[in-house]
């Protein structure tokens, strides 16, 4: 084959992929699901979008710790001491003293024997399900679990069954019909609805059937609490440092044997660079704030703000389900015109016909900010 013919073949192959990608993009546009990033220039909840002042009700920085002076100072100190990057994976030369300190603090916070630090909460779920799953394992997963749990189930090579959302009766039926090692995995607070799992009942049910309970506590800043007495249940707790603690990273906490197994087998832990020293030190400082008197005050403040928007709602995630995608997009744009950034959540993130606004509240919001939000929602007939 001549050189020109080879070049022509390469160009044709590349065009096949480019043409396919263009057709996929056209389909996304035609379905009204086009997405693009939006630059938000901010420190805390207030900032600008395209030069226009806005207040964000979209962040997961539930306690405002990303902008806390002690957290920022800890990140600066870590940069000065260890530099910008960790330079390697945790098992090579990527572990710094701050990584070890944070793991010890996380285990103390959660009342467990050990904790393991990972680059993200997403990687934490992939690690747990990938390392503990297998063809001889059955994983029972709540139907509204986060995408990281869904992907972890797929990568686990396990037999996966999905139980109806927070339906203990359905889960009990599935447990009764399974044999061998079983994992039950659920969010404790569901990220799109802001509702909670029946944690105490899940602990009891898993203990009765000898199943391992994996509980993702990423959004559980206001609870639900996990029982201190497990009555024979085996529990792994998973979470993120990027929400309640305002930093970046993920963690797994639980019995030493299971955590050690993750350290030796979890591919997202073994084969990726360690979290940066600055992120790790920031998370450690934020956790120490959270566990002190100031942290308790911030949690109470957040609880009070949630009650202004939706009294007694169990989490800072307040969904306003509008149904049609276009209605959700138009509502989001109307709020943005009023200086309020509240994202429209559409399929495939949520099921068709359940597009919504997702209001995320933070202790960093002022009373005036929340009053403006409530006023705008009422004016637009959204609350």
Whole-number pLDDT of residue 132: 98
How does pLDDT run across 267-287, given as a tens digit for each residue? 999 999 999 999 999 999 999
Q: Is 371 helix (H, G, I), strand (E, B) or coil?
A: helix
How does pLDDT run across 15-70, given as a tens digit for each residue? 799 999 999 999 999 988 888 888 999 999 999 999 999 999 999 999 999 999 99
How does pLDDT run across 282-306, given as a tens digit for each residue? 999 999 999 999 999 999 999 999 9
363 CB-near residues (< 8 Å, 6+ apart): 62, 63, 64, 298, 299, 301, 302, 305
What element of type H or E holds 49?
strand 46-49
Query: Taking the C-alpha atoms of 49, 54, 58 and 59 in order, what is their torsion angle to the nearest 10 degrees?
Result: 90
* Residue 65 CA, distance from chain mean position: 16
CA dist., res. 270 & res. 283, Å (int): 21
Ordered structural domains, the chain, with CATH: 34-62+316-379 (3.90.1150.10), 69-290 (3.40.640.10)
How does pLDDT run across 86-111, given as a tens digit for each residue? 999 999 999 999 999 999 999 999 99
Spatial strand order in the sheet of 114-118:
114-118, 250-254, 234-240, 212-216, 181-187, 137-142, 159-163
Token pair, residue 15, equals 């065009």
| Model pTM above 0.85 | yes
Question: pLDDT band for position 4 (50/70/90)?
Answer: low
User: To the nearest 5 percent, what fractions of the chain are helix, strand and coil?
Assistant: 45, 20, 35
CB 157 within 8 A of CB 183: no
- Residue 31 is classified by DSSP as T
- Number of other CB atoms surrounding residue 94 within 10 Å: 18
- pLDDT reading at 249 higher than 90: yes
- Residue 121 is classified by DSSP as H
CA dist., res. 244 & res. 59, Å (int): 11
């Amino acid at each position: 084959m001549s050189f020109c013919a080879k070049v022509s073949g390469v160009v044709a192959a590349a065009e096949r992929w480019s043409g396919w990608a263009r057709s996929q993009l056209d389909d996304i546009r035609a379905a009204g699901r086009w997405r693009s990033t939006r630059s938000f220039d901010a420190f805390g909840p207030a900032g600008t979008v395209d030069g226009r002042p806005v207040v964000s009700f979209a962040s997961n920085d539930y306690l405002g710790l990303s902008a806390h002076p002690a957290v920022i100072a800890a990140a600066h100190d870590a940069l000065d001491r260890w530099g910008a990057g960790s330079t390697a994976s945790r098992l090579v030369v990527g572990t710094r003293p701050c990584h070890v300190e944070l793991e010890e603090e996380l285990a103390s916070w959660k009342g467990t024997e050990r904790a393991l630090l990972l680059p993200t909460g997403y990687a934490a779920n992939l690690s747990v399900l990938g390392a503990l799953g297998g063809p001889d394992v059955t994983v029972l997963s709540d139907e509204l679990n986060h995408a990281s749990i869904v992907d972890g189930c797929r990568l686990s090579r396990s037999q996966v069954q999905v139980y109806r959302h927070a339906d203990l009766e359905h889960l009990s039926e599935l447990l009764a019909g399974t044999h061998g090692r079983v994992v039950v995995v659920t969010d404790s607070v569901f990220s799109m609805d802001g509702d909670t799992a029946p944690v105490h009942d899940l602990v009891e049910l898993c203990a009765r059937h000898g199943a391992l309970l994996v509980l993702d506590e990423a959004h559980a800043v206001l609870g639900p609490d996990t029982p201190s007495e497990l009555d024979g249940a085996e529990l792994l707790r998973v979470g993120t440092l990027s929400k309640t603690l305002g930093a970046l990273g993920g963690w797994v906490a639980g019995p030493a044997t299971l955590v050690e197994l993750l350290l030796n087998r979890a591919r997202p832990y073994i084969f990726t660079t360690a979290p940066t020293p600055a992120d790790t030190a920031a998370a450690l400082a934020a956790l120490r704030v959270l566990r002190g008197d100031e942290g308790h005050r911030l949690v109470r403040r957040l609880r009070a703000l949630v009650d202004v928007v939706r009294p007694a709602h169990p989490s800072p995630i307040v969904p306003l389900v509008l149904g049609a995608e276009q209605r959700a997009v138009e509502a989001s744009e109307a709020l943005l015109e009023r200086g309020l950034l509240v994202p429209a959540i559409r399929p495939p993130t949520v099921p068709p016909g359940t597009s919504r606004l997702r209001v995320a509240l933070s202790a960093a919001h002022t009373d005036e900010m929340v009053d403006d939000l409530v006023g705008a929602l009422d004016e637009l007939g959204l609350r």
